[in-house]
Chain A
Amino acid sequence: MTSLTTPISESTIRSLKVGDEVTISGTLFTGRDAVHKYLHEGGRLPPGVDLKGGILYHCGPVVIKDEQGNWKCVAAGPTTSIREEPYQGQIIRDFGLRGVIGKGGMGARTLEACREFGCVYLHAVGGAAQVLADRIRRVRNVYLMEQFGAPEAIWEFEVAEFPAVVTMDSQGNSIHRDILASSRAELQKYL
C-alpha cells in the first residue's frame, strides 16, 4: 500500500506501477461528463479550483445539507470513466493533473497522455459509495452547481486514506487493455 498526499510530484507518480494499491489524502475535485465537455470547449476553471499536481475524481456524489446548513456527502463512488476519453488527455495536459480516479478504465489516448505528462489512472471500487464517502472528511466547496446540477458540479472534498488501485500507469501499462485481450483469447476456447 502506497500513501499519496496531494499535491503529488511527477517523480512519485512515475514510480507507481499497475496493480499498486494506494491511499490518497488531501484534496480531490470531482468532475464528470458536463465538466469535461465544458473544459474541452475552452471553459475556465472557477476561481478556487486548482488541479495542478492534483487528482480529478469522476464522481457524481449524493450531497445533502445538514441542519446547520453544512454540506454532507452521503454517497460518493466513482462513475464510468470511458465517456471522458475524448477529453481526458487534453485536460491532463492543460491542467497538470497527476491522477484521475474513476471506474472501468480508459483508452489509448488517456494512456498516452499519462505516459507523456506523468499521470496515472486510479480505479476505485465502483458502487462502494459508503466506504468511499466515509473517507471524505469534509466537503470544502462546490463550483458550477447552478449550471450543471449536483451530480455534475465540481465538488471539493478533503479526503483521508481514500483507497484506489493503479490500473493505468505512466509507463504505458494498462490492466484494462491486457484483460480485454486475455479474456477475448480465453473465450475462444469455450465457443
Chain B
Amino acid sequence: MNALPDSLLELIRRTSAEIPDDVHQAILAALEREKKGTIAESAMKIIDQNIALARTKSQPICQDTGSILFYVDGPVTLDQHAFEGVAREAVTRATRSGFLRQNSVDSLTGRNDGTNVGPGSPNIHFHQHPSADVSVRLVLKGGGCENVGAQYALPDESLKANRDLDGCRKAILDAVLQAQGKGCGPGILGVCIGGDRASSYEHSKQQFLRRLDDQNPNGELDKLERDIVETSNKLGIGPMGFGGKTTLLGAKIGVLNRLPASYFVSISYMCWAYRRQGVLLDPGGNIKQWLY
C-alpha cells in the first residue's frame, strides 16, 4: 500500500474540487427549469459557473470543507490502524494545500490547530467484506446543511404524523419547510426511518453514497422518494430560498429496524455542493477506478 498516501490525497482533492457527474446533471436540469430572468435562475447560473471554476482551478467548490467522512470497505487483512494514520496525514496535507479549510475546532477551548485532525475528525467508517478489493468513499458535508438536519420521533402530534409512511412523509416535508434555503438549496435529502437516535442519523448520511439517478429497490420507498422531491418542488422555496421551481434535487430513504418504543425519522440535508467521490484501490494502493 505504498501509493496509499498519494491516492488518498488525490481522492480528497478531487472530492473537494469536482462535483460528481450525476449531481452536475441534476443541477443543469434545475437551471433549465427555472424561469428566465429570475433571481433563482441567476443563483443557478452562478452555481454552474462555480462548478466549472472549481474544476479548472483545482480549488474547493465550497469554502466549507465540512465533516470529512470516509467509508472504507476492505478484506479482513486490511490494517485499519495503519489506514487511519495514512488518512489523517492525507487530510493534513490536503489542508496545507488549500483543498480543505482549517475546519476542525476544539469544542471546549475554541482552538483550531489548522490540521483538520482531532477527536472525530476525520470520521472513518470501516466495513469488512468478503472480497479482496479495497474501496474508499469520501463525503465532505458542509456545516450549513448539517445544521438544518432534523430528527423526529413519531407520533408527532403537532404534525399529525402517525407511525406509518404517511407520518414519515409529513415529518420529511416539515424538515424541508423548516430548512427553507438555509442549507444551500437546492438540496438532497438522506433519510432514515427507524434505528436509534445515533444509528438513524448515521444511516441517513450513508444515503449520500447512493447515486442521484439510482432507484430504491423497495417500491414503496421509491414512490416516497419521488413524491418528496415532487411535492417539495411545488412549495416555491427554490434555489437559496429565493423562490423558484427547484427546492430539492433528490431524496434517498433507507430503513433500519426499530424498538417497539421508538420510531425515529432522521433527515440529513446535503447542499447542492454535494461533494462525494470514491476510489477502488489495487494491492499497491494505486487508484484503479473512480467510483462516481
Chain A residues within 8 Å of B, Cβ to Cβ: 19, 21, 34, 59-62, 64, 74-77, 79-80, 82, 103-105, 123, 125-131, 133-134, 148-152, 163, 165, 167, 175-176, 179-180, 182-184, 186-187, 190-191
* CB of A173 to closest CB in B, whole Å: 13
Chain A CB within 8 A of B142 CB:
yes
| B50 & A187 in contact (Cβ 8 Å cutoff) | no
Chain A CB within 8 A of B72 CB:
no
Q: How far is the CA of A62 from the CA of B271 in the complex (A)?
A: 19
* CB of B225 to closest CB in A, whole Å: 16
Closest 9 CB pairs of A and B: A149-B112, A75-B63, A126-B184, A104-B182, A127-B273, A130-B53, A129-B63, A128-B50, A183-B235
* CB of A111 to closest CB in B, whole Å: 15
| Chain A proximity mask over B28-49: 1 for CB below 8 Å, otherwise 0 | 0000000000010011001101
| A131 & B98 in contact (Cβ 8 Å cutoff) | no
| A125 & B180 in contact (Cβ 8 Å cutoff) | no
Chain A CB within 8 A of B177 CB:
yes
* CB of A61 to closest CB in B, whole Å: 6
* CB of A102 to closest CB in B, whole Å: 10
| Chain A proximity mask over B105-124: 1 for CB below 8 Å, otherwise 0 | 10000111010000000000
| A74 & B240 in contact (Cβ 8 Å cutoff) | no
| A151 & B102 in contact (Cβ 8 Å cutoff) | yes
Interface residue from B111, B142, B177, B236 paired with A127 (Cβ < 8 Å): B142
Which residue of B has the minimal Cβ distance to A180? B180
8 A-B pairs (CB sep. < 8 Å): A77-B63, A80-B147, A105-B182, A128-B62, A131-B50, A149-B114, A190-B234, A191-B160
Chain B residues within 8 Å of A, Cβ to Cβ: 39, 42-43, 46-47, 49-50, 53-54, 57, 59-65, 97-98, 100-103, 105, 110-112, 114, 142-144, 147, 160, 170, 173, 177, 180-182, 184, 231, 234-238, 240-243, 271-273
Q: How far is the CA of A182 from the CA of B63 in the complex (A)?
A: 31
Q: Which residues of A contact B103 (CB under 8 A)?
A: 151
Please report whether the interface of chain A is mostly helix, strand, loop or mixed according to DSSP: mixed
Residue of A104, A152, A190 most packed against chain B (CB within 10 A): A104
Residue of B111, B143, B236 most packed against chain A (CB within 10 A): B236
Q: Which residues of A contact B234 (CB under 8 A)?
A: 186, 190
Interface residue from B100, B114, B237 paired with A183 (Cβ < 8 Å): B237
Q: Which residues of B contact A125 (CB under 8 A)?
A: 43, 46-47, 50, 240
| B62 & A21 in contact (Cβ 8 Å cutoff) | no
Q: How far is the CA of A103 from the CA of B37 in the complex (A)?
A: 21
Residue of A74, A127, A150 most packed against chain B (CB within 10 A): A127
Q: How far is the CA of A129 from the CA of B61 in the complex (A)?
A: 6
| A183 & B177 in contact (Cβ 8 Å cutoff) | yes
Interface residue from B42, B62, B105, B271 paired with A75 (Cβ < 8 Å): B62
Q: Which residues of A contact B43 (CB under 8 A)?
A: 125, 165
Residue of B231, B234, B235 most packed against chain A (CB within 10 A): B235
| B231 & A190 in contact (Cβ 8 Å cutoff) | yes
| A183 & B180 in contact (Cβ 8 Å cutoff) | yes
Q: How far is the CA of A187 from the CA of B110 in the complex (A)?
A: 40
Q: Which residues of A contact B237 (CB under 8 A)?
A: 179, 183
Which residue of B has the minimal Cβ distance to A18? B39
Q: Which residues of A contact B273 (CB under 8 A)?
A: 127
Given contacts A149-B102, A183-B236, A190-B231, contact A127 B184 (CB under 8 A): yes
* CB of A12 to closest CB in B, whole Å: 20
Q: Which residues of A contact B144 (CB under 8 A)?
A: 79-80, 103-104, 126
| B39 & A62 in contact (Cβ 8 Å cutoff) | no
| B236 & A186 in contact (Cβ 8 Å cutoff) | yes
| B241 & A105 in contact (Cβ 8 Å cutoff) | yes
Given contacts A34-B110, A75-B101, A80-B147, contact A103 B184 (CB under 8 A): yes
| A163 & B46 in contact (Cβ 8 Å cutoff) | yes
| A150 & B114 in contact (Cβ 8 Å cutoff) | yes
Residue of A19, A59, A130 most packed against chain B (CB within 10 A): A130
Which residue of A has the minimal Cβ distance to B271? A127
Which residue of B has the minimal Cβ distance to A191? B170
Q: How far is the CA of A30 from the CA of B182 in the complex (A)?
A: 19
| A165 & B235 in contact (Cβ 8 Å cutoff) | no
Q: How far is the CA of A124 from the CA of B99 in the complex (A)?
A: 22
Which residue of B has the minimal Cβ distance to A147? B110
